[in-house]
Amino acid sequence: LHPSRRRRLPWHKTVRRAGRREIRDKNISFSSEAQEELDRLTQAVLEIVSVTAGAFACADVSRATSVEPLEQVIDMLIAGIKSRHVSRLRSGDCTIMHGFVLNDLLMNYERISDHCSNIAVAVIMAQDEAFDTHSYLRKIKSEQTGHFAKLYEQYLDKYAL
């Protein structure tokens, strides 16, 4: 695994703190509905970081293969949160400032999950020198059968908004 990728996971803790600091400094509080959505997303992101770190630390290919389905669920959660924010914005329940802060948080969470996906793929690649990252990701995302589909559905149920 490339050293720069190893350094990125701890960096994301700083990003999360900065997001909380921005919320505090701008005296912003999200609606209870938005906060519940963010809490659910945060739990999913914490899980993907934990699973990825465990897969990396133990070179556990089985654990690494469970990262991509969760990454896909996180992508879906982020899209849903953005859509719900637009609805709240239209109804006057949120402001543009909320949207700026929310978008920053969502972008950071997206980056975290993408980095986790890259690390998990690197763990899998370490077991097979002929492994092609892009082919692997295209294949599991397009087929969505077997192990990937089962885990995807489990994560989807676990983190449903």
* Spatial distance between the Cα atoms of 44 and 156, rounded to a whole number of angstroms: 10
- Tens digits of per-residue pLDDT, 87-100? 999 999 888 888 99
The tens-digit pLDDT sequence of the chain (161 residues) is 444 455 555 655 655 665 677 777 878 888 899 999 998 998 999 899 999 999 999 999 999 999 999 999 999 999 999 999 999 999 998 888 889 989 988 998 999 999 999 999 999 888 776 566 667 777 766 666 678 888 888 999 999 98
Triad 74, 78, 81: Cα angle to 5°: 135
- Tens digits of per-residue pLDDT, 38-58? 989 989 998 999 999 999 999
Cβ distance 127 to 61 under 8 Å? yes
